[in-house]
Structure 1
Amino acid sequence: MKATVASLLAMASLSYAQTANTSEPTLAEIEKAAATVEPYSPTSDVKGLVFDKFYQVWLENIDYDVAANDTNMQWLAEQGILLTNYYGTTHPSEPNYCASASGDNFGMDNDDFHQIPSNVSTIADLFDTKGIAWGEYQEGLPYAGFQGYNYSNQETYANDYVRKHNPLILFDSVTSNSTRLRMIKNFTSLYNDLDNEKLPQYAFITPNMTNDAHDTNITFGAKWERGFISDLLNNTYFMNNTLVLLTFDEDDTYAKGNRVFSILLGGAVPDSLKGTTDDTFYTHYSIIASLSANWGLPSLGRWDCGANILEIVANETGYVNYDVDTTNLHLNETYPGPLSDSIYSEYSSVWPVPLTNATCSAGNGILDIVKETYKGREATFNYTHPFPYDTASNYNVDVTFTPLPPLPLPPLT
């Protein structure tokens, strides 16, 4: 029986995809790949409860109060909803990016070159259950799907793209499939996709090491972000029922607790909510839970399972978030895991097992492949909590939380 063109292309795609076995290709290899690899820009139109497109832009390593005092960040907050109680998950940078894609950081307390096994599911698997087009845009990435540790500006040799700020490149389930790899693109592709109206419904957007404030400061990073976002806010195609999260990976003063200045804006934010605040407790895990609730997607069975959902989404689903007392909360370290260097956590050779049977905050159960992969195994942590904790290592065990009171019903008209 003859294979279809589509199936032949799919087989070819999988056959030449390969997870990198070295942390840094040569410049000649990079240049060769850049001349031949074609970015892939799928589109979809899956309606959501609150938004149809979701994009997040992360800056780097700024304390909440420092960001709050910047005039450009203040201007951005006026365009949407300021999230006053949003937290990173640990330190340093990379485990936060990892957490945003998989609902866990696996004890990671470093910025090392990691390759996470293919039996660990990610948000890409969630989106694929409903055919929701996703992508990443990494400024300075030399070509789509580049797996190297970094890529410097070739004229100034300044830091530019770094792997540690690229969530999905960390996962073998992504890098072993060239179709998925080619959806991890650079800013040239971002503007091409914008101009051609081929943006995905979900994207993670990472500025380079200058623009994200890592190698500069909040004044520089916020000025860049205001200019970047202002152009997009004036684009009708981009704005159409779109929700944008502007946040930071972590704070800068580790002892402060890791609260980061975060804003929701875009066409999906009603005019009545612009310039307002949302004081609900959130972490990077809340974003996965909110995406699941918006599009009716399952959970990864990790810390996204019990995470609070963005209020703008929770109001539409009827989910009651939790009020978390952050007095004893420590999100500037993490629990034991196999990716630890024993800096802000303890090394453990055991990969944490996710939940396989739970409703989770989005109310859609657990991803089927997670249930199949870990069937019959007990979850390592109680992932139904709205924040990460671990009784074995005494991590965040003294933190209390209670359901928030229900919102008042709107007046009858």
Structure 2
Amino acid sequence: MLRISRDKFYKKRVFKGATFKTGLLWWLGLVLLVTTACGDNPVSLATPTFTATAITSIAATATNPASSPSPSLTQVATSAPTVGPSGTTLLPVSTGEANSPGTPALSPTPTNTHPYFDRVFIVVLENADYAQAIAQPYLKKLAGQSVLLTNYSGVAHPSYPNYLALVAGSTFGITSDGQTNLDHPTIMDLMNKQGVSWKFYAEQYPEGKCFTGVQSGNYVRKHLPALSFVEIQKDPAQCSLVVPATQLAKDISTNSLPDYSFYVPDLKNDGHDTGVAYASKWLEGFLGSVATTQALGARTLLVVTFDESDNTGNNRIYTVLGGPVVKPGVTSDVQYTHYNLLRTIEDNFQLGNLGQQDAKAGPITGVWQNGS
């Protein structure tokens, strides 16, 4: 190793004014010589800098979300379902923020090929006059957020024939709640022919079988019209589309909701055994607000209606149409019945009609966002 006397250097080179520049040049040359002698790994004292490549990469991530994986709306985990009266599983409630922890995963919205809506979700409550229902705080609030049909009526008394009318366009002369097995076409047949998916969700419905019994706990068949028709009873594939209500949260979380959903609360939650005030509170917990329809899809129609009034008068009942496909806050005093609702769904999905009272009824108009 090269050794040089520091004292000798300073005396001979540095502190003699005439030779200062010469000494400085000699010292720099010495540093270069020592660096070379130390091999391939000299210690660097340079300050690290960001390279152009790194900056470009960060910018790309910030401006192009596709380059940085993040959950889409359909990938966000569903919030845990809550439990309502009598232990029913409730819909997860949306906070209204797309990626917030409480937002349910959105179901895929079909291509916009239908005039009014791409999906319909129907909830039927029990036995209340219009005036009784609209006096309930939540039902009144829901009406203000939706389209309120102020002149909508059931078609018969008691409950059972009204449910038949909703899916088959007729009461078939039935005037009691006694269960009948009918061999008539329904809207389910029309949907099968056109490839429109459907499902009935029923609270406390026995799981794992096609149950055609009259009652099980607080579930009653008279409120689930699909099972009054022999074609569905005898076809395992179709009867498998009648499911316990607990399946709803699963279908939402797996993006597998059908185009047509008919939700059947149990005897407590629909108000049959408990009254309209109880039913209204249950519905508030179930839906939360109209914003919850985000969980059902962007072009979903939410229908909340009653089967019949609580008396034998004009059978006027509370009915609202909710969701982003209608004009919120609108009221319509046009006279409508369950047959008009059925016809609206038939026309929307281009199903034709059943040749019953639905063929004579017109669709509900003047309430849709598309101007119809």
Q: How high is the TM-score relative to the length of structure 1?
A: 0.61
Tell me, yes or no, if structure 1 residue 61 matches structure 2 residue 122: no
- Structure 2 gap segments, 5+ residues each: 1-107
Of 270, 274, 293, the match for 2:347: 293
Secondary structure of the corresponding residue to residue 215 of structure 1: coil
| Residue 149 of structure 1 pairs with residue 206 of structure 2 | no
> Does 2:230 match 1:172?
yes
Task: Give the distance between the partners of 1:140 and 1:317, measured in 2 at CA.
Answer: 40
What does 1:251-400 correspond to in 2, within 5 Å? 251-254=309-312, 256-269=313-326, 273-312=327-366
Please state whether the residue corresponding to 2:357 is helix, strand or coil: coil
How many residues align structurally?
A: 263
Secondary structure of the 1:48 match is coil
Distance 1:253 1:145, change over 3 A: same
The residue that corresponds to 1:139 in the other structure is: 203
**Any conservation in 2 of the 1:278–1:311 contact (CA below 8 Å)?**
no
User: What is the rounded CA distance, in whole Å, between the counterparts of 1:135 and 1:190 in structure 2?
Assistant: 10
Q: Which residue of 1 aligns with 2:265?
A: 207
SS at match of 1:233: helix
Structure 1: give runs of 5+ residues left out of the alignment.
1-42, 153-159, 319-413
1:55-86, CA deviations, whole angstroms, 9 ceiling, x for partnerless residues?
Answer: 11000000111111111110111111000011
Alignment of 1:73-92 (within 5 A): 73-92=139-158
Determine the C-alpha separation between the residues in 2 that align with 1:166 and 1:237. Answer: 24
Partner of 1:242: 300
Whichever structure has more helix as a proportion of its residues is 2
SS in 2 for 1:129: helix
Query: Which one-letter code corresponds to 1:217 in the other structure?
Result: G
Kindly state the Cα deviation for residue 164 of structure 1 after the two structures are TM-superposed.
0.3
Amino acid at match of 1:90: A
Instruction: Give the AA of the match of 1:279.
Output: D
| Structure 1 residue matching 2:114: 3-state secondary structure | coil
Partner of 2:3: none
Q: Deviations 1:4-47 (Å, cap 9, x if unpaired)?
A: xxxxxxxxxxxxxxxxxxxxxxxxxxxxxxxxxxxxxxx99463
Give 2:270's aligned amino acid: D
Q: Distance in 1 between matches of 2:303 and 2:109?
A: 20
- The letter for the 2-side match of 1:149 is V
Q: Show CA shifts across 1:112-154 (max 9, x none).
A: 121002xx110011111220000101111012532110001xx
Distance in 1 of aligned mates of 2:355 and 2:371 = 19
Post-superposition Cα deviations, 1:299-337, rounded to whole Å, max 9, x if no partner, equal 10000001121114789697xxxxxxxxxxxxxxxxxxx
Q: Over alpha carbons, which structure has the higher Rg?
A: 2
Q: 1:294 to 1:312 in 2, by over 3 A?
A: farther
> Contact (CA 8 Å) 2:293, 2:300: kept in 1 or not?
no
Q: 1:199 deviation in Å?
A: 0.6
Q: Percent identity?
A: 34
**Of 220, 224, 229, which residue of structure 2 is paired with 1:162?**
220
**Among 182, 189, 192, which residue is 1:128 paired with?**
192
Q: 1:266, CA displacement in angstroms?
A: 1.1
* Mapped pair 1:219 → 2:273: no
**TM-score using structure 2 length:** 0.67
Q: Does the 8 A contact of 1:50 with 1:312 survive in 2?
A: no
